[in-house]
Amino acid sequence: MHDFTRRTFVKGTAAAAMLSTSALFDWAKAWAQSSPWKPEAGAKLNLMRWRRFVEAEDAAFMKMVAAFKAATGVEISVVSESYDDIQPKASVVANTGQGLDMVWGLYSLPHLFPAKCLDVTDVADYLGKKYGGWAQSGELYGKSGNKWICIPIATTGGLMNYRVSSMQKAGFKEFPKDTAGFLELVKALKKNNTPAGFALGHASGDANTWLHWALWSHGGNLVDKNDKVIINSPETAKSLEFVKALYENFIPGTASWNDSSNNKIFVSGDLHLTSNGISVYVTAQKENKAVAEDMNHAYMPIGPVGKPTELHLAFPILTFNFTKAPNACKAFTAFMLEAENFNPWVESAQGYLSHFLNAYDKNPVWTSDPKRTPYRDVSKRTLTPAGLGTLGEKAASAIADFIVVDMFANYATGREDIKGAMAAAERQAKRIYR
């Protein structure tokens, strides 16, 4: 394991950030010569990734792709898709066995079809030993049994984004640390015509993260530690009442929001509190500086269970085991997470991507602007979509089917009463957890 002091890390980060394109290509060529994985002759890769929310992140990623090609000769065709399109398109490829070599997707996507994923344990071991080990959630996301079926690249934290002046006008000196205080803040914001709003539509990132937090914070769970369905419970009922009380004070339209809706409305100045990645802040710094200067971020409040219960948006990358170029895929995966690439990439993302490898805690992006600091630790704080249960095909199916999101939306909007909403979720979950 390397000895990462802050001084050497910062020095290395600054040097990497300033690498010219030619210097990056020279380093990449040297890396390729010593890499444990030698790409197959003539390898060409097709990679699907989630569509960027921070433009500079995408530019840094494509620079990395170009450097890999210059070093290895491997051509990588990258297609970007919306959050909501990644899972169904990846599933089609898994079933047909053609069309893509790699998918950089969301949450527990690889666990939908673990038998179709290439074993990348050697890549995980190489990176873990070199960069201070993996956060516990990284191992949970990466492994199926004792085998790594994907490499968790990064996490986007779903944290509280709020306007400081609006919070203070509502009578709060600091952001509430518990759910009771949080509800009072949301009510006060509506009264002051500075409303909050959280997605209740099929927003794969925003809705899943904050609604799982709401469920878990009140002691509700989809399944127990033995994967028995337990969603129909008094604790779930309390979480439903909590979310409905919030919804009644939201800005109109949240029941149909997707993952970009709250970003646009917050930056415009009409939304004063939401749950999101740091992309709202990054965009506001460019498009509405007054909003950026007046906003900040906070961890999700603690509920009656008395401990953090956060779910953040993980981005694992998988390689299909039917690829014709497994070594090229492994090489590129490792290449992405080498310090010379990952440090400037994370800095370009400006806090939107947080690391699973512990060494990157020391990247100065997390402290150069205190408003970014809460996002540094989201990979350490996050649970997985499985909650108390096992992260596998069933848990991956449950989040892909929006079972928890639909339960809350059905009750909050009046489509179902509280018993009906829980019963519907229970039926759906039992079909998966048979």
Instruction: Kindly list the domain boundaries of the chain, sorted by start residue.
Output: 6-156+316-376, 159-311+401-432
Q: Tokens in use for 312?
A: 């953040």
Determine the pLDDT at residue 21: 76
Whole-prediction pTM value? Answer: 0.89
Determine the pLDDT at residue 22: 80
User: Which alpha helices (DSSP H) does 35-96 contain, by range?
Assistant: 55-72, 83-96
CATH code given to domain 6-156+316-376: 3.40.190.10
Distance of alpha carbon 355 from alpha carbon 339, whole angstroms: 11
Determine the pLDDT at residue 84: 84
Determine the pLDDT at residue 52: 84
Indicate the pairing of strand 102-104 with strand 143-144. unpaired
Determine the pLDDT at residue 24: 87
* Domains 6-156+316-376 and 159-311+401-432 are alike in CATH topology: yes
Q: Under a CB-based contact definition with an 8 Å cutoff, are residues 231 and 220 in contact?
A: yes
Q: How many CA atoms lie within 13 A of 309 on its CB side?
A: 26
Distance of alpha carbon 79 from alpha carbon 85, whole angstroms: 12
Q: What is the mean pLDDT of each run of 10 residues along the chain (434 residues)?
A: 33 44 89 96 97 88 95 97 92 96 95 97 98 97 96 96 98 98 98 98 94 98 98 98 98 94 96 96 95 98 97 96 98 97 93 95 95 96 95 93 98 98 98 96
Burial 416-430 (b: 16+ CB within 10 A, else e): bebeebbebbbebbe
Q: Which amino acid is at 379?
A: S
Distance of alpha carbon 11 from alpha carbon 17, whole angstroms: 10
SS3 call for 30 = helix
CATH topology of domain 159-311+401-432: D-Maltodextrin-Binding Protein; domain 2 (3.40.190)
CA 96 from centroid of its chain's CA atoms: 27
Q: How far apart are the first and last CA of the chain?
A: 43
Q: What value, to the nearest 5°, has the Cα angle with vertex 173 and ends 167 and 178?
A: 80
Determine the pLDDT at residue 6: 32
Cα distances from 273 to residues 207, 267, 276, in angstroms, run 14, 11, 10
Distance of alpha carbon 381 from alpha carbon 379, whole angstroms: 6
Distance of alpha carbon 372 from alpha carbon 416, whole angstroms: 39
Distance of alpha carbon 86 from alpha carbon 400, whole angstroms: 10
Q: Under a CB-based contact definition with an 8 Å cutoff, are residues 152 and 141 in contact?
A: yes
User: Which alpha helices (DSSP H) does 177-293 contain, by range?
Assistant: 179-191, 206-217, 234-247, 261-268, 279-287, 289-293
